[in-house]
Amino acid sequence: MTGLEARVRRLEAIEEIRQLVSRYALALDSRDIPALVSLFVEDVRTHDGRVGRQALAEWFDPVLRPFGTTFHLVGNHVIDFVDEDHATGVVHCRPEHEVGDLWVVMPMQYWDRYERREGHWYFTSRSPHVFYAADVQENPLKVPGRFHFPGNPFIHKADLPERWETWQRFWGTDTEEGTA
């Protein structure tokens, strides 16, 4: 492969990975589960230890039922390449969810892994990490654990920014200081 071709391939990869994230959001908000799972590699591993897109579809179904209207707005997307066929990403997402009489906003990040198979890029995994979850009329800082999302079947806590080691070191809350 010439140098120029490698550069074009890299630009195409970035574009395709960026669109994976937008396609995921649209498929999720549309509750289009076949489209959603088609964005993942064929041998995707589910969070409950199974393999394959069908298993992923079965995993998603109950996870997406406890809310009405949802709106997954995405923004900043950092993409780092491991090699020509593997990359990682961090994506900002500000989803809103109709949860009964509540409107729950949950600013978060997805920590992603991507892989190219037969010329196209797919997710191998997505891991959500939440800053807070709160009804629009609540002050997130007054919510216990900064997490109020009744009935969320998959995400149960906020772990950002405290999870970052750099954050812990900056504020002196790392294990060397003796905190749990």
Partner 1 sequence: MSTGDLEARIARLEAVAEIRSLPARYAQHYARCDPDALADLYTDPVTLRTGERGSRKSLRQVFAGSCTPADGVRMAILHVGNHIVDFTDEDRAVGSVYCRAEVQRGNGSFFHQAIHYGDHYRRRDGVWRFERQRDHELFYGAPAGSRPNGLPPANWPERDVGTGTFPGSRRRDTSRPGS
CA distances to 72, 88, 108, 124, 135 from 127, in Å = 15, 11, 10, 10, 23
Among 17, 25, 41, 108, binds partner 1 (CB under 8 A): 25
Among 34, 48, 49, 137, binds partner 1 (CB under 8 A): 137
Does position 86 interact with partner 1 (CB under 8 A)? The reply is no
Residues recorded for the chain: 180
Q: How many CB atoms are located within 10 Å of the residue 29 CB?
A: 16
Nearest CA among 49, 53, 47, 97 for reference residue 72: 97
Beta bridge partners of 102: 99
Q: Shortest approach of partner 1 to residue 90 CB, angstroms? A: 15
Does position 3 interact with partner 1 (CB under 8 A)? The reply is no
Only one of the segments 22-30, 123-131, 141-149, 151-159 lies at the binding site for partner 1 (rule: CB under 8 A); that segment is: 22-30
List residues binding partner 1 (CB under 8 A). Answer: 1-2, 4-5, 8, 11-12, 15, 19, 21-23, 25-26, 29-32, 69, 71-75, 94, 96, 98, 100-103, 135-137
